[in-house]
């Protein structure tokens, strides 16, 4: 009888990739080199499709016992992979592609170096982050549930996605959203909503845009939700309620000047404390947010449209996702050790 081998079982990764978004041959070459260098087994390669943007392949990878699933595609691929990894011990590694890369930006990851991202998948450290869960209700009464990593929203946020020219986006990336914003702002319709936040009383308000964020940054280094953190167990919510051109100017000043410039220095933060909050922006924070809309409106998750809804509920699933980061990597929301000791 042959004695059982004492050799350690080879570690293995899977890659769930969008074949339209990535250079497959370059990836295969780079991943093969990383496997050989670090002594891992052969990576499991799984394609996404229009019918299955990543959940099915990811579940297959988890069932086969891989240690890490590399998401190679746009924000939709990343969201789908994360949804299937929710609550498992399998880590998500990011290989950003496309124009958004929303989660990678909010994790302060280098977006330009494919080989570096692959190295992180094989050698990095795992960190737990929160996952958002959105339960949607349609006009016909049907309901469905989806996970999200960065933001969920209605109003101009979703209309911006609707109005974005796909061909222009391919050519110039996120600059295409400037064109979409201009066209979206022509829609002067405001949404009347009723809402409940955690165990608080029901409220109502009229909004142009409503965003629920697990992270705070958008492309272009726009810090929309300055208090948002990926691992604090809370959502940060913002309602945009502008009245005409000057209302939008107030919002732009708040987001670009205060959030983007003043907040970065101690003197700037002190100056901010002396300014009044503007009525055009309302910030909220909580763990569960239920919204009913006066009429159906487009809903988006992490930059993808999910159709019209009449109501939705977002909840935080705290620390439900393992994400693989470069060894020693710190996030912008991390406090320095000196501040912790103080």
What would the 3-class secondary structure string for 165-228 be? CHHHHHHHHHHHHHHHHHHHHCCCCCEEEEEEECCCCCEEEEECEEEEECCCEECCCEECCCCC
- Domain end marker among 123, 154, 169: 123
As for how many domains the chain has, the answer is 2
Q: Are 275 and 263 in contact (CB under 8 A)?
A: no
Query: Is 288 within a domain?
Result: yes
Sequential pLDDT tens for the chain (342 residues): 444 444 456 899 999 999 998 999 999 999 999 999 999 999 999 999 999 999 999 999 999 999 999 999 989 999 999 999 999 999 999 997 766 688 998 898 887 788 999 999 999 999 999 999 999 999 999 999 999 999 999 985 544 444 444 444 454 444 444 444 444 444 556 789 999 999 999 999 998 889 899 998 776 566 778 888 999 999 999 888 656 556 556 655 666 545 543 345 454 444 444 455 555 678 899 999 999 999 999 999 988 889 999 999 999 999 999 999 999 888 766 654 433 333
Q: What are the angstrom distances between the C-alpha of 56 and each of 49, 50, 82, 98?
A: 10, 12, 12, 21
Q: Which residues 6+ apart lie within 8 Å of 15 measured at CB? A: 27, 31, 43, 44, 45, 46, 69, 70, 72, 95
What integer pLDDT is reported at residue 330 of this predicted model?
Answer: 84
Q: Are 152 and 132 in contact (CB under 8 A)?
A: yes
* 182 and 308 part of one domain: yes
* 206 and 69 part of one domain: no
Query: Is 33 within a domain?
Result: yes
* 101 and 139 part of one domain: no
Q: Are 75 and 173 in contact (CB under 8 A)?
A: no
Q: Which residues 6+ apart lie within 8 Å of 94 measured at CB? A: 70, 71, 78, 101, 103, 104, 107, 109, 117, 323, 324
* 59 and 166 part of one domain: no
Torsion angle of C-alpha atoms 142, 305, 46, 68, degrees rounded to 10: -90
- Other beta carbons within 10 Å of 283: 12
This model's pTM is above 0.95: no
* 297 and 218 part of one domain: yes
Tally helices (H) and strands (E) across the chain. 11, 16
Q: Which residues 6+ apart lie within 8 Å of 238 measured at CB? A: 210, 211, 213, 224, 225, 281, 282, 283, 284
- Token match 């406090």: residue? 335
What integer pLDDT is reported at residue 255 of this predicted model?
Answer: 61
* 147 and 109 part of one domain: no
The CATH number assigned to the domain holding 69 equals: 3.40.50.10330
Query: Is 110 within a domain?
Result: yes
* 117 and 162 part of one domain: no
The CATH number assigned to the domain holding 305 equals: 2.60.200.40
- The per-residue b/e assignment along 150-177, b for 16 or more CB within 10 angstroms, e otherwise, is bbbbbbbbbbbbebbeeeebeeeeeebb
* 104 and 143 part of one domain: no
What integer pLDDT is reported at residue 281 of this predicted model?
Answer: 77
Query: Is 180 within a domain?
Result: yes
* 232 and 250 part of one domain: yes
What integer pLDDT is reported at residue 230 of this predicted model?
Answer: 94
What integer pLDDT is reported at residue 113 of this predicted model?
Answer: 83
- Other beta carbons within 10 Å of 19: 12
What integer pLDDT is reported at residue 180 of this predicted model?
Answer: 44
DSSP tag of 336: P
- Domain end marker among 104, 123, 142: 123
Report which secondary-structure segment, H or E, holds 161. helix 156-163
* 283 and 152 part of one domain: yes
* 32 and 61 part of one domain: yes
What integer pLDDT is reported at residue 279 of this predicted model?
Answer: 59
* 312 and 274 part of one domain: yes
* CA-wise closest residue to 133 among 141, 143, 123: 143
Q: Which domain holds residue 158?
A: 132-318
What integer pLDDT is reported at residue 258 of this predicted model?
Answer: 53
Query: Is 342 within a domain?
Result: no
Query: Is 341 within a domain?
Result: no
């Amino acid at each position: 009888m042959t004695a059982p081998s004492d050799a350690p079982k080879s570690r293995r990764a899977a890659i769930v990739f969008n074949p339209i978004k990535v250079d497959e041959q370059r990836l295969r070459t780079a991943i093969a080199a990383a496997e050989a260098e670090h002594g891992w087994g052969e990576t499991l390669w799984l394609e996404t499709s229009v019918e299955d943007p990543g959940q099915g392949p990811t579940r297959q990878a988890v069932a086969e016992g891989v240690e890490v699933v590399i998401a190679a595609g746009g924000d939709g691929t990343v969201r789908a992979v994360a949804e299937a990894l929710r609550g498992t011990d399998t880590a998500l590694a990011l290989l950003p592609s496309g124009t958004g890369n929303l989660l990678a930006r909010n994790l302060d990851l280098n977006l330009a170096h494919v080989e570096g991202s692959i190295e992180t998948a094989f050698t990095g450290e795992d960190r737990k982050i929160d996952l958002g869960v959105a339960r949607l209700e349609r006009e016909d009464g049907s309901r469905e549930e989806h996970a999200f990593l960065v933001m969920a929203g209605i109003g101009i946020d979703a209309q911006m996605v609707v109005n974005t020219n796909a061909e222009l986006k391919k050519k110039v990336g996120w600059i295409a959203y400037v064109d979409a914003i201009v066209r979206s702002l022509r829609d002067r319709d405001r949404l009347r909503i009723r809402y409940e936040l955690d165990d608080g009383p029901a409220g109502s308000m009229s909004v142009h845009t409503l965003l629920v964020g697990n992270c705070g940054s958008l492309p272009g280094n726009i810090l929309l939700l300055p208090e948002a953190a990926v691992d604090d167990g809370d959502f940060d919510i913002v309602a945009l309620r502008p009245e005409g051109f000057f209302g939008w100017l107030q919002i732009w000043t708040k987001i670009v000047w205060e959030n983007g410039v003043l907040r970065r220095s101690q003197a700037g933060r002190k100056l901010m404390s002396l300014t009044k909050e503007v009525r055009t922006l309302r910030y909220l924070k909580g763990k569960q947010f239920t919204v009913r809309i006066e009429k159906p409106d487009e809903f988006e998750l992490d930059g993808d449209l999910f159709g019209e809804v009449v109501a939705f509920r977002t909840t935080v699933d705290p620390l439900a996702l393992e994400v693989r980061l470069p060894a020693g990597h710190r996030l912008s929301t991390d406090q320095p050790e000196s501040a912790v000791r103080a």
